[in-house]
Structure 1
Amino acid sequence: MTSALTPVPNGQGAAHSEAPSVAPARPADSSKALYGGKSTRRITVRDVAGAKERGEKWPMLTAYDAMTASVFDEAGIPVMLVGDSMGNCHLGYDTTVPVTLDEMTMLSAAVVRGTRRALIVADLPFGSYQEGPVQALRSATRLVKDAGVGAVKLEGGERSHRQIELLVESGIPVMAHVGLTPQSVNAMGYRVQGRGEEAAHRLLRDAKAVQDAGAFAVVLELVPAGLAAEVTRSLHIPTVGIGAGPDCDAQVLVWTDMAGMTEGRVPRFVKQYADLRRALGDSARAFAEDVVGGAFPQEEHTFH
């Protein structure tokens, strides 16, 4: 998924929908809600399907380590994505392309260990499924067995149909990803997908293809809001929007973008809910000044 470190030009975000979106009412039995529900067991893809049936919207955030994931789990975030966006915002790569299956497995396992309730979805990184269904099954099996994730995510619509089909047949839930697919940055660049009649039809075909293959949900990234709304109405599986307008069934953000940890300008579709970069920097400077000035450690921090 696109993070703020990805060079999305200003104004290249999702188009606004023509009519205001009306938020669906809370389900009659709020104990079943993905966010705010009373259940403490692990959320499953069946719970996600139930949310679609109830018309319930739900949030998803990325996570890459046990401590951050535990905070989100305590906050009630029902689905977390160990995204290949770790390449941009956690591992220091310029894009998601260099992320390896080893890195994905290690960090996914950490996120699983840091959570109790959330459904953990792990990205299949570039090069781990493109060869075909058998390679995809081998890679996904490792994430399920070694990291303990509850589902995997892979990019591509019709071109990934066979991979999704085999994974689902093998008992591995799959979240699909269409629209802007960052692993294909060298081919498509970073721009809104699905503009124009032909491109819109192609994106809708992709979304229906992954549904037909057995995906339990599909991410729509950088898609015009009107088209995303049409896709959402056309599918019986949930859509997860990122830069795809307000009418998707769920919304996802890269957590470092959401919490203001990322340096510099953020894409249009990001809303920052905190300024953690400044807060963390202020804390580091205060600590450094205390050490240099002799104010830390004091007696209460000292053993005798």
Structure 2
Amino acid sequence: MNLDAIRAIDVHVHVEQDDHGHFSLDEELMRASDAYFRGSENRTPTVADLAERYRDSGMAAVIFTIDATTAMGHPALSSEEIASAAAEFADTLIPFGSVDPHQGGAAVDRARVLVQEYGVRGFKFHPSVQAFDPSDQQFYPLWDAVQELGVPALFHTGQNGIGAGLPGGRGIKLRYSNPILLDDVAADFPGLTVILAHPSVPWQAEAISMATHKANVFIDLSGWRPKYFPPELVRAAGGMLRHKVLFGTDYPLITPERWLADFEELPIGAEHHEQILKLTTARILGLS
């Protein structure tokens, strides 16, 4: 990937549909998510759709799905197929994998295959949707494997739009996405790069504290339009954490153009923009 040819790397982009017409979530959850985020121009992009969309925008994108087969009872999209498809668009797309933590040793073995045979550059986890506590030591063999593989782990944190507005939130528990649960993981696996996805509302202070305290913890800024960022996050992003925050949108839920337009209005010095939009992510992913 030619970093000089791209203006930004969006570290948080969802593949919502595969080439067989299967979707990442069931119909009820897709409708609820649409209502919560008020949609986007293409709610169910394929890998090819994302490649065209980001190439035309002069950006690169980290793409992934979420394997929550055990918790959701809904077949996940194939990370293997996503990675294979992304290889055709290597100038624009960077694949992450996803494995179901509840699958134990099989998840560990699959994580190794995804990196070593399919070339994924990291992993995406969603503790609330996947219904697990990442600090539970039963999942430590998985974090040990990801650390050994030398790729980052991106974890959803904070409020969750999936299941929002449904009775009981469709059983999805927000507490699993409290970032402080990942403090144990970051401490016990210091060689593992942990990325806390999204403004971690209502636990923003915990996320900022962790990113300040631990060299291996970063924050991606996806899932919220920047004009709605908590003030303490804006201050940190423009100050002590300017090398620890990453551009991300949560596309297709938020478009990169809308995110960038809001970002330009934040009181963050222009001299820090390239660092946040591209350089830190490139370093974490080994692209520079």
TM-score normalized by the length of structure 1: 0.49
* Residue aligning to 2:155: 177
Cα separation, 1, equivalents of 2:64 and 2:184? 24
1:249: how far off? Answer: 0.5
| Residue 166 (structure 1) aligned with residue 145 (structure 2) | yes
Matched, 1:239 2:219: yes
Residue in 1 that maps onto 2:64: 82
Shift of 1:256: 1.6
Q: Give 1:108's aligned residue.
A: 83
In structure 1, C-alpha distance between the alignment counterparts of 2:187 and 2:124, rounded to whole Å: 13
- 2:129 pairs with 1:153: no
Amino acid at match of 1:234: H
Look up the equivalent residue of 1:217 and give its one-letter code: V
Give, as a single letter, the amino acid of the residue that structure 2 aligns with 1:220: A
* Aligned equivalents of 2:108, 2:63: Cα separation in 1: 19
* Structure 1 residue 69 corresponds to structure 2 residue 51: yes
What residue number does 2:110 align with?
Answer: 139
Q: Which has the larger radius of gyration?
A: 1
Instruction: Using the TM superposition, name which of 227-236 and 179-188 deviates more.
Output: 179-188
Q: Give the aligned CA root-mean-square deviation in angstroms.
A: 4.2
What is the aligned counterpart of 2:253 among 254, 257, 276?
257
CA contact (8 A) 2:64 2:96 kept: yes
The number of residue pairs the alignment matches comes to 193
SS for the counterpart of 1:254 is: coil
Structure 1 residues 220 and 77: alpha-carbon distance in aligned structure 2, compared to 1, 3 A threshold: same
What percentage of aligned pairs have identical amino acids?
10
- Structure 1 residues 97 and 180 mapped into 2: Cα distance closer, same or farther (>3 Å)? farther
**How does the TM-score come out when normalised to structure 2?**
0.51
Kindly indicate whether the alpha-carbon contact (under 8 Å) linking 2:66 and 2:126 is maintained by their aligned counterparts in 1.
Answer: no
In structure 2, the partner of 1:209 is: 185
Where does structure 1 lack aligned partners over 5 or more consecutive residues? 1-33, 41-56, 88-92, 195-202, 261-269, 274-304
Q: Once the 2 structures are TM-superposed, how far is the Cα of residue 146 of structure 1 from its aligned partner? A: 5.2
Shift of 1:163: 0.9
Partner in structure 1 of residue 74 of structure 2 = 98
Residues 168, 256 of structure 1: CA spacing in aligned structure 2 closer, same or farther, 3 A cutoff?
Answer: same
Shift of residue 158, structure 1, vs aligned partner: 1.4
Asked if the contact 1:177–1:220 (Cα under 8 Å) also holds between the matched residues in 2, the reply is yes
Q: 1:220 to 1:255 in 2, by over 3 A?
A: closer
CA distance in 2, matches of 1:181, 1:103: 26
Structure 2: segments with no counterpart, 5+ residues: 16-46, 128-133, 164-168, 238-243, 262-288
More helix by share: 2
